[in-house]
Chains A and B, each alone.
Chain A
Amino acid sequence: GAVVSQHPSRVICKSGTSVKIECRSLDFQATTMFWYRQFPKQSLMLMATSNEGSKATYEQGVEKDKFLINHASLTLSTLTVTSAHPEDSSFYICSARDGRGRQETQYFGPGTRLLVL
């Protein structure tokens, strides 16, 4: 089946630093990738949609200058949390759509736990 990986699985950083999270589709080409954030005991909230080779589309209320997304290839998207603060601490999850298969199905990565001190 389709596999999506994320790296790192967890990261602890100091306030003010930037953190980059990678999302890779391992056995398929992902024309579209999505980035979600999940706070404890809450649902997944879509942050942005990224299409290979074009600018990401951000959801309302998500600061594009703070959460930089780069989808440079059909198998890799990165999310950079710039100047991270404690309120950015959360579980970040990416998902990807297989460009060849059913467009409805999204394959999720295992998530990245970010803790900003």
Chain B
Amino acid sequence: SQKIEQNSEALNIQEGKTATLTCNYTNYSPAYLQWYRQDPGRGPVFLLLIRENEKEKRKERLKVTFDTTLKQSLFHITASQPADSATYLCALDNTGKLIFGQGTTLQVKP
């Protein structure tokens, strides 16, 4: 069956450290994968998109990798700040529709 899983429901780290979130999928062949940030009671906000032929993408303190052999994407936030605390969702393309993971809630402690 098709599945998309984010490694943990919650992740707590200390301010200044790098947060690494994992997204694994099975039985999909996505043309691209996206990461979103969602704050409580709000809609998701687009962060980064990475295509199947790209290994890595960066945007300021964010970095995303995409390994189509492992069927995995890693999302890194370097020099994390308390303001980065939120739920992060991965979403993969499935013939034009987005399929979302369940999200990982990141808590950055000062």
Contact = CB atoms under 8 A, between A and B. Distances in A.
A, B: real partners: yes
B43 A109 contact: yes
B98 interface: yes
Contacts, number: 48
Contact of B93 (A43, A93, A104, A109): A104
B61 interface: no
B2 to A, nearest CB: 13
Nearest to A110: B43
Nearest to B42: A110
A46 B98 contact: yes
Nearest to B102: A43
Given A93-B43, A93-B44, A104-B32, A44 B49 contact: no
A49 B93 contact: no
8 contacts: A6-B43, A34-B97, A42-B102, A44-B89, A93-B43, A93-B44, A95-B43, A104-B34
Interface of B: 9, 31-32, 34, 36, 41-46, 49, 89, 93, 96-103
Given A34-B97, A104-B93, A107-B46, 9 more contacts: A41-B9, A44-B100, A46-B99, A49-B97, A104-B32, A104-B34, A105-B49, A108-B43, A113-B41
